[in-house]
Amino acid sequence: MPAVTDMGRFGDRRESLWTDSVRFDRKSEARAACPGIHYPVTSTTQSVSPVWYAPIGVPMTPPAATMPETHHLPRVSHGGRVVEFDRGLSLQLRISFEDGLFIASDSRFGLYGSGKSREQAFDDFSEFFVEFFAEITSSKDKDLPPSTREFKKTLAAFGTLRTDG
Amino acid sequence: MADIPRRKIAKSLKAKGFVQTKSGSDHEWFVFCYNDKEYKHIMAKISRGSSYKTYPESLWKRMKIMLRLQKNQEVHDLLTCPMKHEQYLEILRKEGEIS
């Protein structure tokens, strides 16, 4: 019985969350892609050149180039301006690959950038972060509503905007 | 949840009180306005270009924090219009963002 047709037992919930079965030419490749597997990766019953499948319900390991990364940034710069995180905190940036795009995001402020490469995503994020930081911290308090003034204090307690170089 | 066309996102944001403040070749910035005040920390950035004609969930859900919402479903409802302007104002009031 091919593994692909034998995976209904793992249930719909898992199947909707994870990938469909993927064909591999070697058993070792299938196992490498499914490090969490707790049951055998089985082959088809075709007599010539068996084909190996990563079963439905097993989270797939993406290629190394698209693995998520987390960085702790001491500064973010763009367009000749730099935000230095000089108050003892760093900015945690996560870069992941989703829906065909690299996405760089921070969970503290909820800013993100995206692009077709990690570099593009990081650059897009940097532009957004520096622009956003500058826009708010350079505004006069009297022009801001109370909640934005509070947010401005949060930003100011986190980093300092400087001209690069 | 489904992808959302970029044009629909822009239209929905404007219907919820957001005003476009910047428009470059790469992005459009929308800032929330209420009672003639710009709430610059409540905002959304929409990317332009052929890769962004529609926004997949992985992108639109990342607007959640900047829109001051708690759930992905709320973001989806705001960006596709089931959420009315008044409902959004009520959420922002509860969050203490506006008074």
Q: What is the least distance, in Å, from the CA of A139 to any CA of chain B?
A: 9
In a domain, B29, yes or no: yes
Confidence of residue A6 (pLDDT cuts 50, 70, 90): very low
Cβ distance A99 to B58 less than 8 Å, yes or no, reads yes
Q: What is the domain range of residue B23?
A: 4-94
- In this complex, do B59 and A114 lie within 8 Å of one another by their Cβ atoms? yes
B14 versus A52: the higher-pLDDT residue is B14
- The verdict on residue B99 lying in a domain is no
Per the domain annotation, does B19 fall within a domain?
yes
Q: Does A128 touch chain B (CB under 8 A)?
A: yes
A120 touches chain B (CB under 8 A): no
- Is A16 an interface residue toward B (CB < 8 Å)? no
Q: Does the CB of B48 have a partner CB in chain A at under 8 Å? A: no
Contacts 24+ apart (CB under 8 A), A125-128: A125/A76, A125/A93, A126/A76, A126/A77, A126/A78, A127/A78, A127/A79, A127/B26, A128/B27, A128/B45
Q: What pLDDT is recorded for position B55?
A: 95
The count of domains in chain B is: 1
Task: Examine the predicted complex and report whether its ipTM is higher than 0.90.
Answer: yes
